[in-house]
Structure 1
Amino acid sequence: MYAAVVRSFDSSPKYEEVESPVPSGEHEALVDVLAAGLHLRVRAQANGSHYTSTDELPLIPGIDGVGRLPDGKLVYFVATDTALGTFADQTIVDLRRAVPLPAYADPVLIAAAMNPAMSAWVTLRRRVQAKPGFKVLILGATGNSGQMAVQIAKLMGASQIIAAGRNPERLRSLTQLGADVTLSLAGDPAAVARNLGEAAADADIVLDYLWGEPAAQAMLPILTRRSDRSRLLTWIQIGSVAGADAPIPSAALRSANFQIIGSGQGSVTPAGYLAEFPALIQAVADGKLTANPVVYPLSRIEEVWKTPADSQQRIVFVPHNK
């Protein structure tokens, strides 16, 4: 079979012929890969920078995908915790990590949407109890996951969605996805923080895909402008595009009913993620959540890897024989 193979964390994957894998465990099966998305998490896996990296090489990247089981059933699946990922003609699937797809589901759309949608979906269902009518600030709303978060917050009954990001064109497009207020994060950091404080003073939840200085600078302006400081504000750290560390002001933790939590691998159990897959898959398959997939054959992995992905699109690879 053919696969994308990473042999050095300093170089892009190469399209190579490799031996087909053989299932060995009780719950394992060989799956024909139909589509697999190039997510930010996959890029971090391939360069060894993700916090779950084991530094094992060579590896086949790809963390999830849509495939066909030997009995013909289509499934969405999450890759096993090995160096054998989903950017290949075939891979090994742990059947306990696989969910059947509706017959009408588009494999490419599912592969494009599931990973970026998963963070906000699981966060709002598993890390907090988001009740209809909640107000949310999304920091980093112009990224792939942030754009999904806007749609998911709307779907889950948010009464106000404040979307903040840097790209002006994408920021404007978020109103069509459900954002009530859009704010630019470009410009003077102090002015940006003040604007966030005014707009998000009564938020219940912050979905933070940025972290770093933008998060730290926004906390006090938001908290000090709250009409009721005893009303809980839950700040959820999901991504760290703006920096792995944030100098949190100590006054933020004392001046209001304020908590900071994280959401990601480890903070939610694998069983918790798996339990959310069917409803999320259904929402994507039914068109309640939209993505803009662009399809490439896996054989073009080196070329596509070097091209920055447009946040308005989701790159999906399909094996050469599909």
Structure 2
Amino acid sequence: MHAAVVRSFDAPPRFEEFPTPQPSTANEVLVDVIAVGLHPRVRSAADGTHYTSDGTLPMVPGVDAVGRTAHGELLYFVADDDAPGTMAEQAVVDRRRAITLPEGTDPIAVAAAMNPGMSSWVALRRRVAFQPGGSVLVMGATGNAGQLAVQIAKYLGASHVIGAGRDPHRLDLLKSLGADDLVGLDGDADAVAERLGRAAADVDVVIDYLWGKPTELAMPAVLKARTDRSKALNWIQIGSMAGLEITLPSYVLRAANLTIMGSGQGSVTAAGILAELPSLSEEIASGSLAVDPLPIPLSQVERAWSTPTGPGQRIVLTP
């Protein structure tokens, strides 16, 4: 078969011949891959920077995909940690990590949205006991996953959603996706802190795709502005687009009822994640969540790696 193959962490994958994987257990089946998303998680694996990377090369990137079995069944699946990636003409699927999609489902839309969508969906349904009527701040709301997080928070019953990000053009789009307030993160640090405190003082949950300096700024600003500091605030760290580390003053943990947690591989079981996928896929398939895929043939994976995307777009490779 052909696949996107990484032979150096310093170069994008290339379209090459690669050995076809073979099922090795009764739970596994070989599928023809129809669509696979080029997610930030995939890029970080392909350049060796993801925390799960063990440095082994060559490798096929890709963490999920939509594929069809020899019997015609349409599946969305998450690749096993030990299996070759999904950016290939064929992939081995562990049926315990897959869901069946109804006929008529747009595989490209599902491939584009499931990975970025499940980050906030799983966080709000598995990491915290989020209740309808609660309020949510999305840090990094101008990214693809952040835009979906705004929509998902609203879908799950949030009464108030604040989107925070740097790109003013992408921020403006969030109003049409359900954001009640917007906070720009560019400019003077004190002014940014004041805006964050005013807009998000009493939120119940923060979904954080940024970390780094923006979070260092936002966390004290939000906590200092709270009307009741004993009111629980769950800060869910999902991405690190702005930095891998923060400096956290100790008083922040004493002065407010703050819980900091992560949501990702390891903090939620594979079974827990899989249990959430059918309901999320239904919302994607029904059009309840705005999705804007940009399909590119797998044979052009090198071009895809450097293709710019518009607000809310996600590149999807099609074998």
TM-score by length of 2: 0.98
In the alignment, which residue of structure 1 is the partner of 2:11? 11
Residues 162-203 of structure 1: CA deviation (Å, up to 9, x unaligned): 100011111000000000001111111221111101111110
Matched with 2:102 is 102
Cα distance in 2 for residues equivalent to 1:234 and 1:146: 17
C-alpha contact 2:33 2:66 (8 A) present in aligned 1: yes
CA distance in structure 1 between the aligned counterparts of 2:165 and 2:225, rounded to whole angstroms: 21
Question: Is it true that 1:216 corresponds to 2:216 in the alignment?
Answer: yes
How far apart, in 1, do the equivalents of 2:18 and 2:254 lie?
A: 57
Over 3 Å counting, the alpha-carbon distance change for 1:83 and 1:22 in structure 2 is: closer
Per the alignment, residue 156 of structure 2 pairs with 156
- The code of the aligned residue for 1:151 comes to Q
Equivalence for 2:317: 317
- C-alpha contact 2:204 2:234 (8 A) present in aligned 1: yes
- The equivalent of 1:201 in structure 2 is 201
Q: Aligned partner of 1:104: which letter? A: G
Structure 1 residue 215: Cα displacement? 0.7
Query: Secondary structure, in 3 states, of the residue corresponding to 1:71?
Result: coil
Structure 2 counterpart of 1:233, one-letter code: L
Q: Deviations over 1:56-75 (max 9, x none)?
A: 11111111000001221000
Partner residue, 2:306: 306
Counterpart of 2:279 in 1: which secondary structure? helix
| AA partner of residue 286 (structure 2) | D
The within-5 A match list for 1:105-254 is 105-254=105-254
Distance 1:14 1:148 in 2: 30
CA deviation map 1:279-309 (0-9, x unaligned): 1111111111121001111010011212344
2:205/2:234 contact within 8 Å kept? yes
Q: Is the 8 A contact 2:36 2:64 kept in 1?
A: yes
Partner of 2:52: 52
Task: Work out the CA distance in 1 between the residues paired with 2:206 and 2:3.
Answer: 39
Q: Any stretches of 5+ residues in structure 2 without a counterpart?
A: none
1:94 maps to a residue whose letter is D
In the alignment, the residues of structure 2 paired with residue 296 and residue 308 of structure 1 have an alpha-carbon distance, to the nearest angstrom, of 12
Q: Does structure 2 retain, via aligned residues, the 8 Å contact 1:57–1:83? A: no
AA aligned opposite 1:258: L
Matched residue SS, 1:162: strand
Contact 2:5 2:16 in 1 (8 A): yes
In the alignment, the residues of structure 2 paired with residue 21 and residue 237 of structure 1 have an alpha-carbon distance, to the nearest angstrom, of 34
1:83 Cα deviation (Å)?
Answer: 5.3
Any conservation in 2 of the 1:99–1:277 contact (CA below 8 Å)?
yes
Deviations 1:16-37 (A, max 9, x none): 1223222112211111000000
Q: CA deviation at 1:214?
A: 1.1
Measured in 2, the distance between the counterparts of 1:308 and 1:84 equals 27
Contact 1:165 1:171 in 2 (8 A): yes
SS in 2 for 1:282: helix
Q: Is the 8 A contact 1:207 1:237 kept in 2?
A: yes
Identity within the alignment, % = 57
| 3-state SS of paired residue (1:261) | strand
Equivalence for 1:63:
63
Q: Which residue of 1 aligns with 2:281?
A: 281
Closer, same or farther: CA 145–263 of 1 in aligned 2, 3 Å: same
Greater shift in the superposed pair: 301-310 or 269-278: 301-310
Deviations along 1:140-175, whole A, 9 cap, x unmatched? 000011000000000001010010001111100000
CA distance in 2, matches of 1:49, 1:34: 27
Stretches (4+) displaced over 6 A:
none
CA distance in 2, matches of 1:3, 1:135: 43
Given that 1:61 and 1:85 are in contact with CA atoms closer than 8 Å, whether structure 2 keeps it comes out as yes
- 8 A Cα contact 1:113 1:290, kept in partner: no
* Number of the residue aligned with 2:25: 25
Question: What is the CA–CA distance in structure 2 between the aligned matches of 1:269 and 1:5, rounded to whole Å?
Answer: 29
1:247-283 alpha-carbon deviations (Å, 9 max, x no partner): 1121111111111111111100001000001111111
Question: Residues of 1 paired with 2:144 and 2:190: CA distance?
Answer: 26
Report the secondary structure of 1:147's partner residue. helix
Q: Residue 37 of structure 2 aligns with which residue? A: 37
2:263 alignment partner AA: S
Contact 1:61 1:83 in 2 (8 A): no
Q: Distance in 2 between matches of 1:146 and 1:189?
A: 22
For residues 136 and 88 of structure 2, what CA distance do their matches in structure 1 show?
39
Residue 310 (structure 1) shift: 3.4
Residue identity opposite 2:6 in structure 1:
V
